[in-house]
């Protein structure tokens, strides 16, 4: 998948800009606060219909403006041309169109324009709660598999209803209806997570070794209560406890993905360098799986590249992603000289954009 052109109107600190990207590596350089990440976020909007930062649609409208409007022209790996526009107005909300036709559900768009983001905020996957890792997995697997996203939407709806019900004094047969819905969609989600994490592990290992020249063995373990018993049984067994707590205490909304290195938790025992290499390896594994499952190479966004890795590792990464298996890449960095010299050293060709106060010049 290649994003040929993108036009932005009223998006964050960008009043109105148009850029024509290269199908290979694109570099956005400029001072902190210039608007580099904002450009990447606009690309993310076109792909996922939402911000990659935890910003709402209305926070993404330029201060003082009424709406933002993003428009992208893409070329798929098989040569097909696609056009996506995403707009949000403070008054009438969000609209997403593909080739001029408006989507009825935004979720129908997810996965059609695959994307992978490497950013400084990835560290939340290590330091924050399991919820952060579930969010990551959900977003990733939803891009691979539409039925996963459908199951997830059903599960969350049933969970919300069940929790609401637990706050009243519900009849057991009412609960049983929601248990059934949770079990049906929960098992789909459990199987898909097991499957994908299983496929990811050897890839992460491979990329980690390439990036770090580290001999430590890395591992990803999927932790779920459903590994022991089917969700139907778990729900039945926890019913009394759920009444007391007034919420559902078991299910796939409590799963976790445990990251380890050399047999120990990455968070506690991994050095800064190991943690960063691990996160990049994780994202490259995600890229590879998305690419294989969808038959379309995702767009790769590398935000603040040098925040993650030292010069030598960045050079290794760039040499890796300039290969055939990877497609279009957008990189940001605040140090032009450093980025250029590293790219030159990796033997990569690239297009350079200077970003300053929301203006972008090639
Ligand atoms: N809704 C908005 N309206 C106007 N400016 C915004 C909005 N949201 C963010 N900004 C500005 O965008 C700038 C940050 O841009 P960003 O892309 O993160 O910079 P960087 O080049 O460091 O990646 C900040 O100056 C911030 O104030
Ligand atoms: Mg930034």
DSSP line for 227-276: GTS-HHHHHHHTHHHHHHHTS--SSGGG-EEEEEETTEEHHHH--HHHHH
**Cα(107)–Cα(99) distance, rounded to whole angstroms?**
16
The alpha carbon of 60 and the centre of ligand 1 are apart by a number of angstroms equal to 9
Residue 73 confidence (pLDDT): 98
Residue among 15, 32, 33, 119 to mutate when testing ligand 1 (max atoms within 8 A of CB) = 33
pLDDT at 310: 83
Q: What are the C-alpha distances in Å from 212 to residues 136, 177, 259, 262, 346? A: 23, 50, 16, 14, 16
Residue 55: pLDDT above 80?
A: yes
The ranges assigned to domains in the chain are 1-114+297-362
Q: Check residue 8 and give its pLDDT.
A: 98
User: Residues 29-57: what's their mean pLDDT?
Assistant: 95
Per-residue pLDDT, 353: 97
* Ligand 1 touching residue 63 (CB < 6 A): yes
pLDDT, mean of residues 50-57: 92
The answer to whether the CB of 37 is under 6 A from ligand 1 is: yes
Question: 201: CA distance to ligand 1 center in Å?
Answer: 36
Q: 266 pLDDT exceeds 80? A: yes
Beta carbons of 30 and 354 less than 8 angstroms apart: yes
Among protein residues, the one with the nearest Cα to ligand 1's atom 14 is 33
- Give the tens place of pLDDT for each residue, 203-260: 999 999 988 877 788 999 999 999 999 999 999 999 999 999 999 999 999 999 999 9
pLDDT over threshold 80, residue 108: yes
Cα-to-chain-centroid distance, residue 280: 13
User: What number is the average pLDDT over the span 93-122?
Assistant: 94
Q: Looking at ligand 1, which residue's alpha carbon is closest to its atom 12? A: 13
Ligand 1 close to Cβ of residue 98 (< 6 A): no
Candidate of 13, 40, 353 to mutate for ligand 1, largest count of ligand atoms within 8 Å of Cβ: 13
pLDDT at 308 over 90: no
Q: Residue 3: which pLDDT band, with cuts at 50, 70 and 90?
A: very high
Q: Where residue 283 falls among pLDDT bands split at 50, 70, 90?
A: very high
If one residue of 8, 9, 12, 54 were mutated to test the ligand 1 pocket, choosing by the most ligand atoms within 8 A of its CB, it would be 12
Report, as an integer, the average pLDDT of 287-294. Answer: 95
Quote the DSSP letter at residue 12.
T
CA of 76 to the centre of ligand 2 (A): 27
Provide, rounded to the nearest whole percent, the portion of the chain with pLDDT above 90.
Answer: 79
* Ligand 1 pocket, residue 105 CB under 6 Å: no
Q: What is the domain class of 1-114+297-362 according to CATH?
A: alpha beta
- Ligand 1 centroid vs 284 CA: distance in angstroms? 27
Cα of 35 vs centre of ligand 1, distance in Å, is 5
- If you average pLDDT over residues 86-103, what whole number do you get? 96
Over residues 316-360, the pLDDT tens digits come to 899 889 888 899 999 999 999 999 998 888 888 899 999 999 999
Is the shortest distance between the CB of 8 and ligand 1 below 6 Å?
A: no
Say what the pLDDT of residue 324 is: 83
Contact 88, 67 (CB under 8 A): yes
Which residue minimizes the CA distance to atom 24 of ligand 1? Answer: 33
Nearest CA to ligand 1 atom 17: 35
pLDDT of residue 330: 97
Q: Is the CB of 354 under 6 A from ligand 1?
A: no
Look at residues 219, 59, 198 and name the one whose alpha carbon lies nearest to residue 137: 198
Mean pLDDT check: name the lowest of 56-65, 115-124, 221-230, 303-312.
303-312
Q: Which whole number is the average pLDDT over 183-199?
A: 97
Average pLDDT estimate for 258-274: 90
Residue 59 pLDDT greater than 90, yes or no: yes
Helix then strand then coil, % of the chain, to nearest 5: 50, 25, 25
pTM of the predicted model, to two decimals? 0.93
Shortest-distance ligand to the CA of residue 39: 1
What SS3 string covers 49-99? CCCCCCCCCHHHECCCCCEEEEEEEEECCCCCEEEEEEEEECCCEEEEEEC
CA of 35 relative to ligand 2 center, distance in Å: 7
Ligand 1 lined by 13 (C-beta under 6 Å): yes
Q: Residue 117 CA: which ligand is closest?
A: 2
Residue nearest to atom 15 of ligand 1 (CA): 35
């Amino acid at each position: 998948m290649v994003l040929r052109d993108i036009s932005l109107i009223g998006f964050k600190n960008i009043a109105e800009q148009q850029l024509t990207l290269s199908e290979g590596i694109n570099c956005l350089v400029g001072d902190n606060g210039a608007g580099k990440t904002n450009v990447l976020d606009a690309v993310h909007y076109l792909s996922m219909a939402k911000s990659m930062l935890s910003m709402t649609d209305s926070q993404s409208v330029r201060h003082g403006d009424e709406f933002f409007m993003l428009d992208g022209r893409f070329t798929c790996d098989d040569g097909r041309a696609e056009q996506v526009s995403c707009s949000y107005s403070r008054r009438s909300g969000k609209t997403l169109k593909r080739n001029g036709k408006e989507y009825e559900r935004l979720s129908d768009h997810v996965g059609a324009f695959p994307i992978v983001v490497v950013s400084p905020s990835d560290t939340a996957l290590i330091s924050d709660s399991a919820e952060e890792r579930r969010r990551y997995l959900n977003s990733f697997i939803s891009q691979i598999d539409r039925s996963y996203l459908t199951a997830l939407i059903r599960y969350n709806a049933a969970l919300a209803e069940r929790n609401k019900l637990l706050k009243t004094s519900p009849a057991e047969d009412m609960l049983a209806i929601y248990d059934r819905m949770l079990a049906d969609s929960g098992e789909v989600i459990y199987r898909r997570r097991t499957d994908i994490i299983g496929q990811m592990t050897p890839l992460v290992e491979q990329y980690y070794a390439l990036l770090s020249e580290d001999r430590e063995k890395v591992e990803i373990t999927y932790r779920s209560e459903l590994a022991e018993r089917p969700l139907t049984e778990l729900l039945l067994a926890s019913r009394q406890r759920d009444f007391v707590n007034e919420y559902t205490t078991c299910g796939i909304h409590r799963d976790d993905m445990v990251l380890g290195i050399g047999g120990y938790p990455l968070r506690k025992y991994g050095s800064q360098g190991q943690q960063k290499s691990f996160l990049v390896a994780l994202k490259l594994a995600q890229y590879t799986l998305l690419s294989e499952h969808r038959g379309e190479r995702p767009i790769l966004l590398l935000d603040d590249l040098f925040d993650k890795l030292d010069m030598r590792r960045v050079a290794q990464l760039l040499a890796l992603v300039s290969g055939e298996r990877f497609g279009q890449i957008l990189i940001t960095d605040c140090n032009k000289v450093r980025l250029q010299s590293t790219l030159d050293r990796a033997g990569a060709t690239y297009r350079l954009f200077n970003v300053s106060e929301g203006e972008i010049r090639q």
